[in-house]
Amino acid sequence: MQPHEQWDSSYASPGFPGGGSNSIPCTKPMIDNRGINHLERNHRDFPQWVQQVTEQLVENQPETGLSESLQTSAENNIVPALLGELRPAKSARRNPIEGSGQQHQWFAELGDQITNFSNDAKGGGSMAKGSDDQSLNLMTLLLECAVAISVDNIAEAHRMLLELTQMATPYGPSCAERVVAYFAKAMASRVVNSWLGMCSPLISYKSIHGAFQVFNNIAPFVKFAHFTSNQSILEAFHRRDGVHIIDLDIMQGLQWPALFHILATRMEGPPHVRMTGMGTSMELLIETGKQLSNFAKRLGMSFEFHPIARKFGDVDVSMFQIRRGEAVAVHWLQHSLYDATGPDWKTMRLLQQLSPRVITLVEQEIAHAGSFLDRFVGSLHYYSTLFDSLGAYLQSDDPSRHRIEHGLLYREINNILAIGGPARSGEDKFRHWRSELPKNGFMQMPMSTNSMAQAQLILNMFPPSHGYSLVQGDGTLRIGWKDASLYSVSAWTSPASR
């Protein structure tokens, strides 16, 4: 990694907000306990190399690690561990984020350390050659860039992004490099919309739905979510004649045919099914409704579809026209593509008003709240894992893989980094809904063994099944890749429901 050219202050043109200074605080880093705890929080889950880089910096001993020989992670294409020895596992404790000012200070020091580290790295002897070196350099530069953005040094970030966007390729064999390419692009997009002062998204839903469908076919995560939540809904609808499913973001309704099939053929006979499909575009909702109605008709199941092209939180409970005696299931498959539901407190309030028999909640294991750097680090870990999982069985030039990475995952990354965030939207997002629901009167219904069985069946359909991890705990079911958990499914009920 070349040491960065020094920008002279004339570069900080009035065009860049916060320009004029391009310095990241250069104080000697102190080992701050809270900083370490923050790192430890997700320690267990980090891809090993990211963990090693950041640990390296906290412990402030760049030279010792480098003389070790390197382990290569042969199974996947992520950058090998920098340090030969494995650090002893630290306990993973979740600490809430301390004041953001503290955060900025610590990460600013981190950024400085990264520069020092990478300079030392060049001087060290036994770095792995070739593309691993390249991936490491890119990743380091990406982290530095995130730090620059987090302290509003947009000018410096822009310059680093010019480098990154020339160097990283999303088509190569290195998963890390692919991730960097998309992250860099998202941050470049953020630089532009920061400068413009306009951060609302412009989305091609058709394109996203198409990519989502490919994702559904190629990777097990979506089917995992669908089939396990269908199982919970089925159980909640036991012996009920009138049922009403509210899907908070139905998209193309890929989930429901399987459930309809089971409902239509259940022993006590099919119920009358009402479905309220919510989403972004009325045109697409109507189309989805048509497809589902045709399918239900073929099954001989009586079915009504009601589209609502609004965000869930912005709707009044009366719009759902809940009928007496009908069992209500609310299904929420969360994603990061765009904001599907609106302010969280409104969503919670509406859920309480609906008092559903069951809420099936699928969450991504990323926190949507927190500072830019929190979201950056969290999503870097998350998407690195996802990209690794795709790279484990798809060729680097596989067009479906590209469709998923570019058309779906990149859109999420862009939404998280370039669009989203409480500082921009003025909204506070809950960290995890499954922590919030119990605080608001909902009771968890643990995922049954049938759900677990469903999940296992799904995994067996997708090679390499040994790479995926299935964990049952705290009443939830979680699917992940290797050690990192990616999606969780949980089910809840309102005590007021009948």
Report the nearest approach of other proteins to the CB of residue 481 (Å).
Answer: 22
Report the nearest approach of other proteins to the CB of residue 171 (Å).
Answer: 4
Question: Is 430 an interacting residue with respect to other proteins (CB under 8 A)?
Answer: no
* Contact of 102 with 34, CB cutoff 8 Å: yes
CA pair distance 409, 218, nearest whole angstrom: 14
CA pair distance 319, 306, nearest whole angstrom: 10
The window from 111-119, 189-197, 287-295, 373-381 that contacts other proteins (CB under 8 A) reads 189-197
Question: Is 69 an interacting residue with respect to other proteins (CB under 8 A)?
Answer: no
Cβ proximity to other proteins, 5 vs 268, nearer residue: 5
> Which tokens sit at 260?
């309809």
Instruction: Please enumerate in sequence order all residues whose Cβ is within 8 A of that of 244, keeping only pairs 6 or more positions apart, or say none.
Output: 273, 274, 275, 276, 320, 322, 323, 326, 327, 328, 329
Question: Is 213 an interacting residue with respect to other proteins (CB under 8 A)?
Answer: no
Question: Is 272 an interacting residue with respect to other proteins (CB under 8 A)?
Answer: no
In the region spanning residues 158 to 187, those forming contacts with other proteins, defined by CB under 8 A, are 158-159, 162-163, 165-167, 169-172, 181-182, 185
Question: Is 139 an interacting residue with respect to other proteins (CB under 8 A)?
Answer: no
In the region spanning residues 391 to 410, those forming contacts with other proteins, defined by CB under 8 A, are 396-399, 402-403, 406-407, 410
Question: Residue 430 CA to chain centroid, in angstroms?
Answer: 14
Residue (of 164, 209, 202, 159) closest to 183 by Cα position:
164
First to last CA, the chain: 63
Residue from 71, 73, 100, 189 in contact with other proteins (CB under 8 A):
189
Alpha helices, DSSP H, located in 42-130:
48-59, 62-66, 100-123
Q: Is there a cis peptide before residue 399, judged by omega within 30 degrees of 0? A: no
Question: Is 6 an interacting residue with respect to other proteins (CB under 8 A)?
Answer: no
3 state SS of 306 = strand
Cβ proximity to other proteins, 168 vs 301, nearer residue: 168
* Contact of 413 with 439, CB cutoff 8 Å: no
Report the nearest approach of other proteins to the CB of residue 440 (Å).
Answer: 23
Residue (of 282, 241, 287, 228) closest to 449 by Cα position:
228
Angle between helix axes 256-264 and 282-299 (nearest 10 degrees) is 30
Query: How many residues contact other proteins, by CB under 8 A?
Result: 68
Binding mask 325-344 for other proteins (x = CB under 8 A): -------------xx--x--
Question: Is 480 an interacting residue with respect to other proteins (CB under 8 A)?
Answer: no
Residue that has been written with the tokens 């596989």 in this structure:
398
Residue from 61, 67, 116, 204 in contact with other proteins (CB under 8 A):
204
* Contact of 60 with 35, CB cutoff 8 Å: no
The window from 12-20, 92-100, 250-258, 431-439 that contacts other proteins (CB under 8 A) reads 12-20
Report the nearest approach of other proteins to the CB of residue 402 (Å).
Answer: 5
Cβ proximity to other proteins, 27 vs 166, nearer residue: 166
Report the nearest approach of other proteins to the CB of residue 159 (Å).
Answer: 6
Residue (of 223, 430, 458) closest to 341 by Cα position:
430
Q: Please give the residue ranges that form the binding site for other proteins (CB under 8 A).
A: 2, 7, 11, 13-17, 158-159, 162-163, 165-167, 169-172, 181-182, 185, 189, 192-207, 210-211, 280-283, 309-311, 314, 338-339, 342, 396-399, 402-403, 406-407, 410, 419-420, 423-427
